[in-house]
């Protein structure tokens, strides 16, 4: 050990030590069956990550400066509503998902790039311990994935859209905190104003596709089965080694990724909707507006008080958004602004 | 009362290593999630007791690492971790013992590193792992591990030299 490591060793925080009095008895763990006959009952945790593997690059690009005018700062989150829209409402989650499958038939599968534009929002707790408050941070992200055999690079274009206190009470606490225009979260600086656009070129295989607990390649996605049962089997085999948790929940999360952000054939998306339709725990949440005000219908999977929701436009089977809620609190969202193939070239800068 | 061999073995592993897995979980995800991560990790160990190696710590930390990656929504974990890193600095600052300034500086500099760099350094400094074991936890070769650790140490040194302590000072103001 050199001096630097020794210095770190002697700075070890006491917070790493557990309070031994509250240590659970190992018998509570050994009460579970040793062999994975049934997957263990739900354990307390938030929604599993359909992690955007590119997020690190995104954040780095956005920290740099605040150049745009504060007037463009997005307002606090809208809430979903129960308003009805023109399309007849499905009676069950299953009906919605099967209808979405029926509608998912064609899109142009030709183009040099698969391009997806996403707005992400996330709620962060900031401020003094005595009066913390929540802010909503928004990030815009564009992903370009080359489709062909050519050795073209992919690209990720990111732009920080700024952050705002979430509600009136948060606004008050923010003012009491001295109305800061930036917040620090560890090594990340979050600014109230947005940031400049950042482009990160990525090798074709490295734009961060993720499915069912592990990275996935374009080639694997292209070979996915378009039969719902076969797709389910493929995902379960993968989840068995890559993830732990109730199978239905993991399938729901994987299904969300397939219908929202992964470049798969329409037939595979349709199969995904059909697979989701057969998951017993998926509930119909009802007619909602996504965070961009687009009308759709939400289905949700509730786990320990947190619900992950998928918002679908029943009329054309298009997945609009996914959201993560804890009770009445929106924790995060992704709005899928546009998805599809293009012959345009990604921006270089 | 008779205890089967698997139960005896598991209990021994649990008693010996729970504190270390807990410390790792705190350093990666904050106290908020540590209990759950440790619980999930040992549940995997129990279910797969037949593949737990005789010296289980690197294996356990590798499982904990996967649990963190697979199950904890990244943004929730980042928020918890950020709070954790702030607490390291503020709580070190409250300690009247000697060397407080250095501890504050070191912890603040650690907080300014990327998660990856911080993990490499703390696996050695706080978990006491040997290079081969640390490489096993993060899933790379020993050679690659040395290169990464070298770079991480360099960046820690730079962070210390640049007195990036100020990165966390505004937050201390917040806590009044």
Residue A338 inside a domain? The answer is yes
**Alpha-carbon gap: A324 to the closest alpha carbon of chain B (Å):** 10
Domain range for A154? 55-342
Over the stretch B101-127, which tens digit does the pLDDT of each residue have? 778 888 888 888 888 899 999 999 998
Residue A45 inside a domain? The answer is no
* Chain A CB contacts of B103 below 8 Å: 10-11
Residue A1 inside a domain? The answer is no
Q: Which residue of B has its CA nearest to A53?
A: B74
In this structure, the answer to whether residues B97 and B162 fall within a common structural domain is yes
- Point out the domain boundary residue: B72, B106, B129: B72
In this structure, the answer to whether residues B1 and B85 fall within a common structural domain is no
Rounded Cα distance, A108 and A104, in Å:
12
- The mean predicted confidence, pLDDT, of chain B is 81
* ipTM of the modeled complex: 0.84
Q: How many domains does chain B have?
A: 2
CATH number, domain with residue B34 = 1.10.1740
Residue A29 inside a domain? The answer is no
In this structure, the answer to whether residues B61 and B2 fall within a common structural domain is yes
In this structure, the answer to whether residues B93 and B160 fall within a common structural domain is yes
Rounded Cα distance, A96 and A94, in Å:
5
**Alpha-carbon gap: B59 to the closest alpha carbon of chain A (Å):** 16
Query: SS3 for B61?
Result: helix
Rounded Cα distance, A37 and A265, in Å:
34
In this structure, the answer to whether residues B93 and B159 fall within a common structural domain is yes
In this structure, the answer to whether residues B92 and B33 fall within a common structural domain is no
% of chain A with per-residue pLDDT over 90:
29
Segment (H or E) for A126: strand A113-126
Rounded Cα distance, A177 and A197, in Å:
29
Residue A8 inside a domain? The answer is no
Task: Give B139: exposed, middle or buried? Use CB within 10 Å, 0-12, 13-18, 19+.
Answer: exposed
Q: Which of A15, A24, A34 sits opposite B47 (nearest CB)?
A: A34
Q: What is the DSSP string of B95-151?
A: --STTHHHHHHHHHHHHHS-HHHHHHHHHHHTT---HHHHHHHHTS-HHHHHHHHHH
Over the stretch A265-318, which tens digit does the pLDDT of each residue have? 889 999 999 999 999 989 999 899 999 999 999 999 987 678 899 999 988 889
List b or e across B74-87, with b for residues whose CB sees 16 or more CB atoms inside 10 angstroms.
Answer: bbbbbbbbbbbbbb
In this structure, the answer to whether residues B12 and B85 fall within a common structural domain is no
* Chain A CB contacts of B74 below 8 Å: 49, 51-52, 55
**pLDDT of res. A275:** 95
Residue A102 inside a domain? The answer is yes
Using the Cβ of A187 and the Cβ atoms of chain B, whether some distance falls under 8 Å is answered with yes
- Measured CA distances, B172 to A128, A165, A192, B126 (Å): 9, 20, 20, 25
Segment (H or E) for A221: helix A218-222
- Point out the domain boundary residue: B20, B40, B72: B72
**pLDDT of res. A35:** 57
**Model confidence band, residue A149 (pLDDT cutoffs 50, 70, 90):** low
Q: Is the pLDDT of residue A173 over 90?
A: yes
Phi, psi of B88 (to 5 degrees): -55, -45
Q: How many domains does chain A have?
A: 1
Domain range for B49? 1-72
In this structure, the answer to whether residues B86 and B60 fall within a common structural domain is no
Beta bridge partners of A115: A144, A340
Residue A269 inside a domain? The answer is yes
Rounded Cα distance, B164 and B106, in Å:
10
Residue A276 inside a domain? The answer is yes
In this structure, the answer to whether residues B157 and B100 fall within a common structural domain is yes
Over the stretch A58-113, which tens digit does the pLDDT of each residue have? 222 222 222 233 333 333 333 333 343 445 677 788 888 988 888 887 666 678 88
In this structure, the answer to whether residues B176 and B90 fall within a common structural domain is yes
CATH number, domain with residue B161 = 1.10.10.10
Q: What letter would DSSP give residue B11?
A: H
């Amino acid at each position: 050990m050199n001096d630097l490591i020794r210095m770190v060793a002697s700075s070890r925080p006491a917070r790493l030590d557990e309070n031994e009095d509250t240590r659970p008895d190992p018998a509570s763990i050994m009460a579970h069956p040793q062999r994975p006959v049934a997957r263990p009952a739900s354990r307390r945790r938030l929604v599993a990550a359909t992690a955007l593997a590119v997020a690190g690059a995104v954040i780095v690009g956005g920290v740099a400066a605040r150049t745009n005018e504060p007037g463009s700062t997005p307002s606090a989150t809208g809430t979903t509503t129960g308003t009805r829209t023109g399309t007849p409402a499905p009676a069950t989650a299953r009906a919605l998902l099967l209808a979405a499958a029926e509608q998912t038939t064609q899109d142009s599968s030709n183009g040099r790039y698969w391009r997806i534009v996403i707005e992400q929002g996330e709620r962060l707790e900031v401020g003094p311990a005595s009066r913390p408050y929540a802010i909503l941070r928004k990030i815009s992200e564009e992903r370009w994935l080359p489709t062909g055999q050519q050795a073209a690079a992919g690209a990720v274009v990111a732009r920080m859209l700024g952050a705002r206190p979430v509600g009136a009470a948060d606004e008050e606490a923010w003012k009491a905190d001295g109305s800061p225009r930036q917040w620090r979260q560890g090594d990340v600086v979050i600014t109230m104003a947005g940031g400049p656009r950042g482009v990160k070129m990525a090798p074709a295989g490295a734009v961060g596709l993720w499915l069912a607990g592990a990275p996935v390649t374009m080639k694997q996605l292209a070979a996915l089965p378009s039969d719902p049962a076969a797709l389910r089997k493929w995902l379960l085999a993968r989840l068995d080694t890559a993830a732990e948790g109730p199978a239905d929940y993991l399938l729901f999360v994987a299904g969300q990724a397939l219908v929202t952000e992964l470049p798969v054939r329409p037939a595979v998306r349709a199969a995904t909707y059909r697979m989701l339709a057969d998951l017993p725990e998926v509930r119909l949440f009802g007619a909602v507006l996504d965070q961009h005000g687009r009308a759709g219908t939400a289905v949700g999977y509730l786990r320990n008080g947190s619900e992950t929701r998928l918002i679908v436009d029943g009329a054309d089977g298009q997945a609009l958004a996914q959201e993560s809620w804890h009770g009445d609190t929106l924790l995060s969202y992704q709005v899928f602004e546009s998805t599809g193939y293009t012959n345009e070239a990604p921006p270089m800068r | 009362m008779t205890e089967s061999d698997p139960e005896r073995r598991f209990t021994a592993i649990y008693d010996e290593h729970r504190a270390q897995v807990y410390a790792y979980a705190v350093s990666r995800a904050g106290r908020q999630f540590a209990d759950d991560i440790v619980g999930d990790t040992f549940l995997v160990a129990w279910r797969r007791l037949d593949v737990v190696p005789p010296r289980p710590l690197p294996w356990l930390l590798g499982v904990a690492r996967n649990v963190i990656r697979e199950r904890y929504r990244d943004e929730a974990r980042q928020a918890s971790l950020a709070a954790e890193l702030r607490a390291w600095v503020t709580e070190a600052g409250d300690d009247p013992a000697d060397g407080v300034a250095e501890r504050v500086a070191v912890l603040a500099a650690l907080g300014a590193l990327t998660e990856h760099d911080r993990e490499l350094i703390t696996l050695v400094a706080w978990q006491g792992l040997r290079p081969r074991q640390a490489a096993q936890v993060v899933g790379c070769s020993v050679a690659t591990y040395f290169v990464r650790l070298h770079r991480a140490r360099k960046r820690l040194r730079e962070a210390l030299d640049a007195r990036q302590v100020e990165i966390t000072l505004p937050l201390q103001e917040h806590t009044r």
